[in-house]
């Protein structure tokens, strides 16, 4: 994507100035100011927020900026607290990025295909054109094709690594080419990064002001039920997302529960090692089945498996109470099921069911 805009940040990053990328109404927006925005520190009497004064443990509004949680995440991830945005799952920052930078009916977003479906759903909700670029035969991106799909109305470009549903990590060199060649915001979704150690882009945040990295507590941390996602970016982008989020988007129960896990990282690391080991065992068992045509390499907590009669086997398994995901109608995934790596007992039951499959 060629752009001679004088506001380019550096030779390595052609990012248009955030003031140019940002929707004008968002730039001019006066955000809602909550009672807790107007006070910080300690006090003994709180009569500013129309709360019930009787202590239930949850009668007070939560910290709107989740400062304690962000401080602990920053320590673990090696970033600064002002580089963190917390959302209701990763879906909230995805939606907020569209709302902040893309003018409905005018701007567009470039995404790899196949990939996580919410990039498209959120774009459709916000009336943003999506430009899909197919992965190659190895389920890898080609930076030149992604950049060629963009124009001066392209504000966001989404990558997912490790990718869902293909399970593989994207080539780092191609990701960097995209970041250095795109003059909008590049969002790299690392929801499964814990299962692909050493591949995160968090250390590159200071180098690339147009980079947003998404992570989540839903996978490795075992907290899908609390719906907490993380977005890491420059302090400037984080301020924009914080400006337009709902005032108390992360409730007190969620903040308390995630802190318990953040203080016990060792448990998460044990789970990750176990799941990776089970992933390799499960892949080998699946390869032994005569109807399995290919088990694709995985850097995630799931496997993409190509097999004969994928839809019929999916329905058979569902009727037996074993639920997997049929991805056979997704681009480049014809005849494929996506199978999450379960506990050793769940994986054994899956294999036994598949051995006895009838349709």
Cα separation, 87 vs 80, in Å, equals 17
The pLDDT, as a whole number, for residue 13 is: 54
pLDDT in tens, 267-285: 999 999 999 999 999 999 9
The reported pTM is 0.94
Cα of 207 vs its chain's centroid, Å: 21
Tell me which of 13-22, 112-121, 152-161, 198-207 is least confident: 13-22
The pLDDT, as a whole number, for residue 359 is: 55
Reported residue count of the chain is: 359
Q: How many CA atoms lie within 13 A of 186 on its CB side?
A: 29
Cα separation, 241 vs 66, in Å, equals 14
Q: Is pLDDT larger for residue 52 or for residue 358?
A: 52
Share the mean pLDDT of the chain: 94
Residue 235 has pLDDT above 80, yes or no: yes
Backbone φ and ψ for 110, nearest 5 degrees, come out as -105, 130
CATH class of the region 266-355: alpha beta
Residue 1 has pLDDT above 60, yes or no: no
- The kind and range of the H/E element at 132 are strand 129-134
pLDDT in tens, 8-54: 343 445 678 999 999 999 999 999 988 878 777 778 899 999 999 99
The pLDDT, as a whole number, for residue 265 is: 98
Residue 2 has pLDDT above 70, yes or no: no
**What dotted CATH number matches 18-262?**
3.40.640.10
Rounded to an integer, the average pLDDT of 130-159 is 98
User: Two tokens at 236?
Assistant: 């400037």
Rounded percentage of the chain residues whose pLDDT exceeds 70: 96
The pLDDT, as a whole number, for residue 40 is: 72
Output helix, strand, coil percentages for the chain, rounded to the nearest 5: 40, 15, 45
Which residue is associated with the tokens 């060199």? Answer: 173
Domain ranges of the chain: 18-262, 266-355
Backbone φ and ψ for 299, nearest 5 degrees, come out as -115, 20
Strand ranges (E), 211-281: 211-216, 229-232
């Amino acid at each position: 994507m060629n752009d001679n805009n004088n506001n380019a940040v550096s030779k390595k990053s052609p990012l248009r100035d955030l003031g140019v990328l940002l929707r004008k109404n968002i730039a001019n927006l006066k955000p809602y100011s909550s009672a807790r925005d107007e006070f910080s520190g300690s006090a003994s009497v709180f009569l500013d927020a129309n709360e019930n004064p009787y202590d239930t443990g949850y009668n007070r509004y939560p910290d709107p900026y989740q400062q304690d949680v962000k401080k602990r995440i920053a320590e673990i991830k090696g970033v600064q607290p002002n580089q963190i945005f917390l959302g209701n799952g990763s879906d909230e920052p995805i939606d907020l990025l569209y709302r902040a930078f893309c003018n409905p009916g005018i701007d567009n977003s470039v995404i790899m295909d196949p990939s996580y479906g919410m990039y498209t759903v959120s774009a459709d909700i916000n009336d943003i054109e999506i430009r899909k670029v197919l992965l190659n035969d190895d389920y890898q991106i080609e930076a030149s094709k992604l950049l060629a799909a963009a124009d001066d109305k392209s504000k966001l470009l989404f990558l997912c690594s490790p990718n869902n549903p293909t399970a593989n990590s994207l080539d780092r060199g191609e990701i960097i080419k995209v970041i250095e060649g795109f003059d909008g915001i590049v969002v790299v979704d690392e929801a499964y990064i814990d299962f692909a150690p050493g591949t995160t882009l968090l250390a590159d945040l200071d180098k690339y002001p147009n980079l947003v990295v998404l992570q989540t507590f839903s996978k490795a941390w075992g907290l899908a039920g609390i719906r907490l996602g993380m977005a890491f970016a420059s302090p400037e982008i984080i301020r924009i997302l914080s400006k337009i989020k709902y005032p108390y988007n992360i409730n007190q129960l969620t903040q308390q529960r995630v802190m318990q896990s953040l203080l016990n990282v060792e448990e998460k690391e044990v789970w990750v090692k176990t799941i990776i080991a089970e992933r390799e065992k499960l892949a080998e068992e699946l390869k032994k089945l005569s109807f399995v045509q290919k088990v694709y390499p995985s850097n995630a907590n799931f496997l993409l498996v190509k097999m004969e009669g994928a839809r019929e086997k999916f329905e058979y398994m569902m009727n037996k109470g074993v639920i997997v995901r049929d991805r056979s109608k997704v681009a480049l995934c014809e005849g494929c099921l996506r199978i999450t790596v379960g506990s050793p007992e769940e994986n054994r039951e899956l294999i036994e069911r598949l051995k006895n499959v009838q349709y």
